Structure 1
Amino acid sequence: MSESGPPIELAVEQATDVETPRRKFRWKWGLGILLLGIAAIFYRWFQLAPDRTYQVFAVYEGIRNILVGLFIWWLLFSGLAWKARFKGLGGAALVLVLFLGLVRVESFEGDMVPRFRFRFSPTPEQRAKAYFEQIENKAEAKPKTAGQTLVTEAGDWPGYRGINRDGIAITQSIRTDWKTEPPELIWEHPVGAGWGSFCIVGDRVFTQEQRGDVEVVVCYEARTGQQLWVYADEVRFEETLGGVGPRATPSFDQGFLYTVGGTGVLHCFEAVSGIEVWTHDLLKEQNLNNLQWGMSGSPLIWENLVIVNQGLVMDTSELHQRSIIAFDKRTGKQVWTSGSRKSSYSSPQLAELQGVPQVLVFHAKGLESFAPADGRSLWFFPWTNQAGVNAAQPIVIDDSSVFIGSGYGVGSARLSIDKSGDEWKAEEVWTSKSPKLKFNSAVLRDGYVYGLDEGILTCLNLENGKRIWKKGRYGYGQMLLAGPMLLILAEDGSVELVKAEPEAYSQVAKFQALSGQTWNHPALAHGKLFVRNSEQAACYDISTVSKPLPAVETDR
């Protein structure tokens, strides 16, 4: 041992301690990134209120920023040994793989929030396939019979949102005390995917579905839900956010049925038999592209014409666009095509303004009016949003004014329509931030509009555009007006009755009609409520006096 210093062994230990200092885990940095990211999400959430869609997008963006920040901190600045850093990343990847292995994204809600289901549970399409295979094995083959006719009568629901496309059940009377007299389930069963509604004439119910690789037009018996005939096209429309299947609703006219599929196939059928009369592939024949969320406009019948929306051209300039096209409803011969603006998701709407019949088309750039006889453009009012999506039906208020509304932060407006000689003018009377009708149409009653403002029921005064009340959350469901009652089919499949009164929000009754995500419009015929979504369909008796549906009138 040397008297001038520490022992050799101790000196070596001290030197080793100096050379390998302990690593310091900088956990506060990671916590700071997490807290700052959460604070930024809350700030953006309240900044973007009340637009639910943009709020959800802000959450996605905020989560992405947090994950990127945590990844950079963990990999470069956490202070841990490299072995620990890689183990942490591997563990996180393993958790993600396990999660994705156990669950799947079934669909997205109207505000783009994902819906998850376990992977081992059957998909709605698989359940529908099993059901239809079962009934087809039991059913006897029935030959199609031409020459039969089907006629409309009071109480029918012959197309999208009723006889006038305004969501108003003019002749319907329904019971409202659902506690003592709850809706009676007549039938229910699985259906193929799709976001269209029902067309009901007599004892026939028509709709469109996706069944695997084929898109079908199907006729059910209203009394039993039994499938009567099916026509299939070997096409399939599928989109990540909007899901699978056709979007439009069949239209009935004088014994014939007209349909537009998700890929733009237009059909005319004999309604009773399902025999095809004529067809056009709107996109292929016109060399057009599909809309992002599919062809959604339901066919409009005017005199001898069937009028439908068109797709998109490769050239994005407005000079080359075509908004609508008209065919002879009996022969399928093209009569005219018109418009020079990008199509959207609203259906053509028949109106009479200043005593002149016209077709209103709420396309991506605004509301345009066309003369139905020759397609000549009468007037145009610009109205768009960042997404270029106008999906709600315009509402004709009176002979000289129209109400429009859309989502993505825009709101609604009342337009004044004036005619001087051959010149038309559409001017804004007022605009309002409410209701923002993303893809939900509103209804009109006694000078007030009732609509879902990003999922919240809202009453708006049409005289001045001021909101009267806003209450009740229904998601991105749909509604109709039956007498003094709003009948709302919510996004979760529940049905509610709310008084259509400006004095206050007043819920009257509620029941669960369907399970699963529901964006489809309800239909009401002869006191029977027909509802569906992309998984199931059902019929409920809510009439004041229960009576059978009328039989089909046929000429044999």
Structure 2
Amino acid sequence: MAPMTSDPTAVAVAPGSPKLAWARWGLAFALTFSVLLVAPTRLVIVWMANSARESGLALLFLVVLAATSAVTWNLAKSLPEKWSSRTRPVVFGTWIVLLCVGVFVQSGPNSNRAIVAFLFAVGSLWVPWLAWFGFRPASLTRRVSEALLVAVGPLVLVSTVTVEAMRGDNTVDFAWTWSPPRDLAIAFPEPARPAVITTGFDPTPDDFPQFLGPARTGVIESGMRPVDWNENPPRELWRKQVGPAWSGFAVRGDFAFTQEQRGEEEAVACYRVKDGELMWMTKSPGRFASAMGGVGPRATPTIHADGRLYTVGATGALQCLDACSGQVHWSKQILADNEGVDHNHGICGSPLIVDDKVIVSPTGNASSSLVAYDRLTGDRVWQAGQSLASYSSPALLELRGRKQVVLHTQQVLEAHDPVTGALLWEFPWSNANVNNCSQPLVIDADNGRLLVTTGYGVGAALIEVAPGEPHWSVNTIWTAREMKTKFTTAVRVGEFIYGLDDGILACISLADGKRKWKTGRYNHGQVLLVGPTLLVQAEMGDLALVDPQPKKFVELVRIPMLKNKTWNNPTVAGKYLLVRNGEEAVCLEWPVR
């Protein structure tokens, strides 16, 4: 009989334990390259963007990290030597490759993609190191050396890379931490001599006086219709550099008005439509910038029939200006005046004019998410609100014969009396991010029916409101996880609704909310209905014409127009089509009949 030996490192292997060891190895590998790969990368990007912290994801990451470390503890002893010796190098190598590819693909065109991807991969090696820390015994010296090496990566990453901007599909533009904001390095044009408009400012039927057009619906009810751009392409009249902003153009007569960021000041600018000449520019101190939302004003100016121009800046500056000269009649800081605070992406709601009032939506105070000012003096008339303001604009609707101001706040769609601000009704419809940007659509004014949509996985609801005491009643007709309009507003054509559903053009039935089709990737752009044709502004700058047919998607034409992220709404004023983003503006003379 062979003598028995005592080996303190020997491991008793029970029957079936090799299968258990391989199961543990597979589970750890799966957890490492799913939750542990994605979660910390997202958390770091969100932190760099100074966005809302995702505590739930952070907790999940920590739990999975601890579980993976427990699963891999002393696992090497139960595996063949050739596997146990190769596992950690394979894990680290696979980690670097997958993270480099993932960050590279997710990076925008303005990033140093390859270098940033490598820095993210190296900067996150501490995650698999901790997850597989106890996989194989090692000396204290080796542990300390490894710890020092993996600690250098995250320090280098956070000291060199930051998030400059994000797109609607979560594509990220990275920048070096020492680089100044790009717009501060640009020498923008200034008016040669500020001009006073004396002619060409008379109202016309083709005017586009506010956000989303004459009725704030995204519908241009014109007798003209776009013709085939393949045979008669639009003619570019001018293209020029503009300051960053997500503001659109408001047009009256021969002139277009928009908002821009010029260095440390917010600016209101007037351009002549036919040639793009900058007529005047009025600046005021203020700069809002966030990695998620970008730089500059978000709202579109509103023009009153008497020639006064109303603007709201991203930092809360409400102004009344003379549209002919840019002279400021009065201004008000609506955050300070209503005990509000900056929201994550700034103030986005465009000012609404109702009779002798201008109505705005300050952020940060639920009891004053809707505020009316005397449009001639700037004196506050009333404050109202049930929920914190989000990113939509107030709209004047008429339902069952009664005018009401409707606003989609962070939690609810709420309606108020335009004279007193009294609450009429509210309907809870929101998403986990409480980001609501879309405008409601009146479907049947006489019967109080309207459609409300939002993004982030929620979709649409058709509701019916009716007078009652003390508040109106709200009845839900149907809800659907379709038409998830993240940054945009849908439009109605007959008995169907068309809009960008998570960045893809879709058609749903008004009868039941069911999808007819969903195709055509434009990402998170904007949509207008011009006569019988859909005008689609793609997020990355293309323009498209789509024939709204419920049976199938019919794209008539698509042309490149702008060169970067475009969240601004296009503007149609007769034969003129104006588009812009945070870098450039273009005016087209488009063929119509």
- Name the TM-score class by shorter chain: 0.7 to 0.9
After TM superposition, give the deviation of residue 143 of structure 1 in Å: 5.9
Residue 473 of structure 1 and its aligned partner are, at CA, apart by 1.4
In the other structure, the counterpart of 2:382 is 336
Is 1:217 the equivalent of 2:268?
yes
Question: Partner residue of 1:273?
Answer: 325
Cα distance in structure 1, aligned partners of 2:486 and 2:277: 34
State the AA in 2 paired with 1:37.
Answer: T
Aligned counterpart, 1:354: 400
**Distance (Å, rounded) in 1 between the aligned partners of 2:312 and 2:510:** 33
In the alignment, which of 261, 282, 286 is matched to residue 235 of structure 1? 286
63-72 or 332-341, which deviates more: 63-72
Q: Compared with structure 1, are the counterparts of its residues 171 and 185 closer, same or farther at alpha carbon in structure 2 (3 Å cutoff)?
A: same
In the TM superposition, residue 227 of structure 1 has moved relative to its aligned partner by 1.4
Cα distance, 1:211 vs structure 2: 1.5
**Comparing 501-510 and 93-102, the one that deviates more:** 93-102
Q: Does 1:195 align with 2:246?
A: yes
Query: Counterpart of 1:3?
Result: none
Structure 2 CA distance, aligned partners of 1:93 and 1:515? 39
Instruction: Write the letter of the residue equivalent to 2:511.
Output: E
User: In the alignment, residue 500 of structure 1 is paired with which amino acid?
Assistant: P
Compute the displacement of 1:164 (Å): 0.6
Percent identical among aligned pairs is 35
Structure 1 range deviating more: 384-393 or 397-406 = 384-393
Match of residue 129, structure 2, among 47, 71, 85: 71
Matched ranges for 1:292-371 at <5 A: 292-313=344-365, 321-371=367-417
TM-score normalised over the length of structure 1:
0.81
Structure 2 residue 565 is matched with structure 1 residue 535: no
Q: Does the CA contact (< 8 Å) of 2:200 and 2:254 recur in 1?
A: no
Q: Which residue of 2 aligns with 1:427?
A: 475
- What amino acid is aligned across from residue 183 of structure 2 in structure 1? E
User: 1:428-507 residue pairs with structure 2 within 5 A?
Assistant: 428-507=476-555
Deviations 1:248-277 (A, max 9, x none): 110001211000100111000110110111
Q: Is the 8 A contact 1:479 1:486 kept in 2?
A: yes
Rounded Cα–Cα distance in structure 2 between residues aligned with 1:425 and 1:234: 44
Deviation string, structure 1 residues 167-223 (Cα, Å, up to 9, x no partner): 011116343422232222211122111112111111211111112211111111111
- Does residue 107 (structure 1) correspond to residue 159 (structure 2)? The answer is no
Q: Provide Cα deviations, 1:19-41, integer angstroms capped at 9, x if missing partner.
A: 9xxxxxx9x99997454333558
Q: Does 1:157 align with 2:208?
A: yes
Residues 1:288 and 2:346 aligned together: no
Query: Could you tell me how far 1:90 is from its partner in structure 2?
Result: 6.3
Which is further off, 164-173 or 101-110? 101-110
The aligned counterpart of 1:551 is none
Task: State the shift of 1:457 in Å.
Answer: 1.1
- Tell me if structure 2 keeps the 8 A contact 1:29–1:73: no
For the pair 1:36 / 2:94, whether they are aligned, the reply is no
- The 3 A distance-change label for structure 1 pair 120 and 504 is farther
| 1:47-58 pair list within 5 angstroms | none
Could you tell me how far 1:73 is from its partner in structure 2?
4.3
- Aligned Cα root-mean-square deviation (Å): 3.5
Amino acid paired to 2:404: Q
The answer to which of 196-205 and 58-67 deviates more is 58-67
The question of whether the paired residues in 2 share the 8 Å contact of 1:144 and 1:275 is answered with no
Find the aligned partners of 2:181 and 2:302 in 1 and give their Cα distance.
30
Q: SS state of the match for residue 506, structure 1?
A: strand
Unmatched tracts of structure 2, length 5 or more: 1-6, 9-20, 40-53, 66-94, 96-123
Q: Distance in 2 between matches of 1:69 and 1:103?
A: 19
Letter of the structure 2 residue corresponding to residue 340 of structure 1: Q
More divergent stretch after superposition (266-275 vs 237-246): 237-246
Q: Deviations over 1:468-520 (max 9, x none)?
A: 11111111111101122211111111111111111111111001110111111
Q: Secondary structure at the match of 1:72?
A: helix
Q: Given the superposition, is the C-alpha separation of residues 352 and 528 from structure 1 closer, same or farther in structure 2, using an over 3 Å criterion?
A: same
Judge conservation of contact 2:293–2:345 (CA < 8 Å) in 1.
Answer: yes
The Cα of 1:539 is off from its aligned counterpart by 1.3
Query: What's the CA shift for 1:527?
Result: 2.0
Which of 184-193 and 428-437 deviates more? 184-193
Secondary structure at 2:31's aligned position in 1? helix
Alpha-carbon distance, 1:538 to partner: 1.1
- Structure 2 SS opposite 1:471: strand
Aligned AA for 1:380? E
Kindly provide the CA deviation profile for residues 335-389 of structure 1, in whole angstroms up to 9, marking residues without a partner as x: 2222232211111111111111111111112111111122121111122222222
Residue 183 (structure 2) aligned to one of 101, 106, 125? 125
Q: 1:244 corresponds to which residue?
A: 295
One-letter amino acid of the structure 2 residue matched with residue 372 of structure 1: P
SS of equivalent residue, structure 2 residue 553: coil
* 1:95 to partner: Cα distance: 6.8
TM-score, with normalisation over the residues of structure 2?
0.76
Alignment counterpart, residue 557 of structure 2, candidates 509, 516, 519: 509
Distance 1:311 1:542, change over 3 A: same
- Tell me, yes or no, if structure 1 residue 412 matches structure 2 residue 407: no
**Rounded Cα–Cα distance in structure 1 between residues aligned with 2:244 and 2:140:** 50
